[in-house]
A and B are shown apart, each in its own frame.
Chain A
Amino acid sequence: MLEQQIDITDEAQETLSMHPQKFAMWLFITSIVMLFAAFTSAYIVRQAEGNWLYFELPNLFWTNSAILIISSATMHWAVLSARKDNLSMLKIAISITTVLGLTFLVMQVWAWQELVVNGVFFAGSESNPSGSFLYVITGMHGVHIVSGVVFLLIALYSVFTYKIHSKNMTRLEMCATFWHFLDILWLYLFGFLLLNH
């Protein structure tokens, strides 16, 4: 009896802990931030060395930014609907988000075409690092958008097979975090390019 009492009295403290998958997602996001931090600082370092071609950014970037912002809003709408177990609304919201994500990708390719028409090339004898950087930065962002869309498709599938509802939000919440992050990342990159192109 005494033995037991003692064990109760110095019960060890609970350690802080979060959801491991969500936490790992934030770490993953951190590494992506570092990747783009590297690109944008390389951009600045390189620009400071001169021999830098100045050109106009494609106008489509503005449209695309709007698309991404709207998709973030619909993503948020999806999360809210799921929390309220409003599943039909959830289906609409997540579908719109996915379609917007795909639209963004297609439009980015159009933006690239606009660049080529304007004589800004990725590689070759007529290219300049300023143009190459633009393609690399937007391209790498596009690659991450592709992974975001894949994530959205997985979430979409789970929504339509009724695996996501107010009691089971993890997957949707992680998807939303990632998607909002990609949105913010784009706004940062676009703002960066606007200021430094």
Chain B
Amino acid sequence: MATETNLTQGVSLDHHHDDHGHEHHEESFISKYIFSEDHKMIAKQFLITGIIWAFFGGAMSVIFRLQLGFPDMELSFLKPFLGHWLDSAGKLDPNYYLALVTMHGTIMVFFVLTAGLSGTFSNFLIPLQIGARDMASGFMNMLSYWFFFAASVVMFSSLFLETGPAMGGWVVYPPLSALPEAVPGSGAGMTYWLISMALFIISTLLGGINYITTVINMRTKGLSFSRLPLTIWAFFLTAIIGLLSFPVLFAAALLLIFDRSFGTSFYLSEIYMNGEALHNQGGSAILYQHLFWFLGHPEVYIVLLPALGITSEIIATNSRKPIFGYRAMIGSMIGIAILSFIVWAHHMFVTGMNPFLGSIFMFLTLIIAVPSAVKAFNYITTLWRGNIIFTPAMLFSIGLVSVFISGGVTGIILGNNALDIQLHDTYFVVAHFHIVMGSASFFGFMAGVYHWFPKMYGRMMDEKLGYIHFWLTFVGIYLVFFPMHYIGIAGFPRRYYSHTSFDAFSTFTDLNMFISAAAIVTFLGQAIFAFNFVWSIFRGRRAPENPWNSNTLEWTTPVSPGHGNWPGKIPHVYRWAYDYSKPNADKDGFGDFIPQNVPLSKTPHSNLEHENEIMNEQHVEDDLKINDHK
């Protein structure tokens, strides 16, 4: 029969799995859990590595918050962890304060919110939601994880260097990062940082090429781009942004490596070190900033878009309503993706940039607020009068909407090149990006874990612990980051070891203490999540096949899908992913959701006008085809 030919799409690698998908061949421990080529296992590897990194990054922030909030505190009890990073009086060494800040930023931005978030959910959801047996290249996918792992090992070992890890901030601006004499961490630590990042970039590119190829080439029949779940759209655009921007970071890093180790002068010029002139002539430190932020700004959306995609999916499912403005959502994501490449200089307003050029970048920057606002509006209108089900994932998604708005508003303030002269490099910026990027992406990450945990491990996470975790985190991050706006407006600079020597800031001593205390509580709150996660993997309640009554294809697989995802044929797609609470669905025998793999012909009562048209067109076409065959 003609319909049987659907599976093998000729050339795709998918072909191989189609024949073998349902066979369970015995796999060795190593090929199943370590060098696995199964996208679901690779996703879990990214997830667990990301979570471990998140705890390291979080612990670092707690330590430097102790320094900021309680500058006189004796930290000797941390000696076992910090070793020579503490001086003899039990105080944090200023250089290592900078090391902690730098490592915290690098780890969180790249290892947790890029690799941990995209790596986990792109890998896990792309094949499952587009109806593919696996990624286009399982091998490249495996390499992608192991390059990330290697990057992690290198970064981690830099913590144990005699001169400490990199200390120049996560943006590693030269000349600070280029001259080993400038700060201890610019020696071996910086070299490790650069090697680690080079490995990381390779990992991201391998992953990204795979994601794009898979989404474009391996969608199941019927899954046109206009029916793609918004998660997939988000991962797809994220991968494209990464593909275009990470090579530029690579170029920037390469030139930095030459400056550091080979004596070139790309970024260095006319520098005196301890009274002696260095030979470097003619370099430009600003050039580095241009290259870095050409990646750096798109990077913030690489971190955010997957979280937004996850949120769209979860909010629609748990409001039991179609996502409001599906096409507008896609359009605004595309808009954000394009705009993200032409606003980078808003990080450089105070570098002596021509004010006219500055106002052009201000203009472009403020335009981003439009698609961002469209997204926020659509989330809220999706929630509006929905039958909201407050699962932990849903709470985290709504939390994301909240922080996305409150952090986006300060972006508009910072985007003004005149206002930014006052605010640049203060805690106002720290507040802005921790709320809009850090918290929003983190919430998206958590929402994703709570929502897809049943599909990953075949068990449910505990809801009560999830609620406690959510409220602690939600209240916690606002208590931590909101006060930072005030400190920043007062001019308090970021990356300062201590503020006790400035009288102007003594009024903020209490507030700083408060922030630090809130940070510690919020961090400890994450232990609840860790416990819930690990415990549920082994002891959680067994998950049903479709615990959230969701429409997308991953829920048509068995509770714990094997290699190849579907034991039988791959389901086809006949409708978009958001047929929730469709009028008259009950007459067709459906509840408040109609999964994507239900043919339109099975739902004559609830079909909309245009859906009937599609069906009739196909009817005619197929009649013709059948006649041809006769």
Q: Contact residues of A with B, CB < 8 Å?
A: 6-21, 23-24, 27-28, 30-32, 34-35, 37-39, 42, 45-46, 49, 51-52, 122-125, 127-129, 132-133, 136, 140
Contacts and interface: CB of A to CB of B under 8 A. Distances in A.
27 contacts: A6-B602, A7-B601, A9-B601, A10-B599, A11-B618, A11-B622, A12-B221, A12-B573, A16-B216, A17-B218, A18-B216, A19-B11, A20-B12, A20-B136, A20-B137, A20-B213, A24-B137, A27-B208, A34-B243, A38-B251, A42-B255, A42-B266, A45-B287, A51-B282, A129-B284, A132-B266, A140-B254
Contact of A136 (B216, B247, B255, B263): B255
B244 A34 contact: yes
Contacts of B284: 45-46, 49, 129
B312 to A, nearest CB: 21
B66 to A, nearest CB: 40
B264 A127 contact: yes
Contacts of A12: 6, 220-223, 572-574
A8 B599 CA distance: 10
A123 B258 contact: yes
Given A28-B209, A34-B248, A7 B599 contact: yes
Contacts of B216: 16-18, 23
A9 B251 CA distance: 54
Interface string B239-253: 000011111101110
B351 to A, nearest CB: 12
B17 interface: no
Contact of A42 (B3, B281, B287): B287
B251 A10 contact: no
Given A11-B618, A28-B209, A31-B247, A132 B601 contact: no
A179 to B, nearest CB: 19
Contact of A38 (B279, B291, B572, B615): B291
B9 A17 contact: yes
Nearest to B12: A20
B218 A122 contact: no
B254 to A, nearest CB: 7
Grouping DSSP codes into helix (H, G, I), strand (E, B) and loop, the B interface class, with mixed when no group exceeds half, is: helix
Interface in B399-424: none
B266 A46 contact: yes
A38 B601 CA distance: 52
Given A23-B217, A46-B266, A31 B3 contact: no
B252 A38 contact: yes
B224 interface: yes
B250 A8 contact: no
Instruction: Identify the interface centre among A8, A14, A18, A20: most chain B CB within 10 Å of its CB.
Output: A20
Given A20-B137, A132-B264, A34 B245 contact: yes
Given A20-B213, A42-B251, A10 B615 contact: yes
A9 B264 contact: no
Interface in B219-242: 219-224
A17 B213 CA distance: 9
Contact of A122 (B210, B214, B262, B599): B262
In this complex, the member of B140, B251, B269 whose beta carbon has the largest number of chain A beta carbons within 10 angstroms is B251
Contact of B247 (A6, A32, A133): A32
Contact of A9 (B137, B250, B281, B615): B615
B265 interface: yes
A10 B574 contact: yes
B108 interface: no
A157 B258 CA distance: 36
Contacts of A136: 254-255, 258
Interface string B511-533: 00000000000000000000000
A20 B263 CA distance: 42
Nearest to B13: A20
Contacts of A133: 266
B273 interface: no
Given A9-B619, A35-B251, A17 B262 contact: no
A9 B221 CA distance: 14
A132 B573 CA distance: 55
B601 A42 contact: no
Interface in B1-27: 1-3, 6, 9, 11-13
A52 B258 CA distance: 18
B212 A27 contact: yes
Most buried by B among A13, A15, A123, A128: A15
Nearest to B242: A31
Given A122-B262, A136-B258, A27 B618 contact: no
B600 interface: yes
Nearest to A128: B282
B205 interface: yes
Contacts of B208: 27
Contacts of A6: 599, 601-602
Contacts of B252: 38
Contact of A35 (B248, B264, B294): B248
B222 A15 contact: yes
> What are the 3 closest A-B residue pairs judged by CB atoms, nearest first?
A12-B222, A125-B279, A38-B251
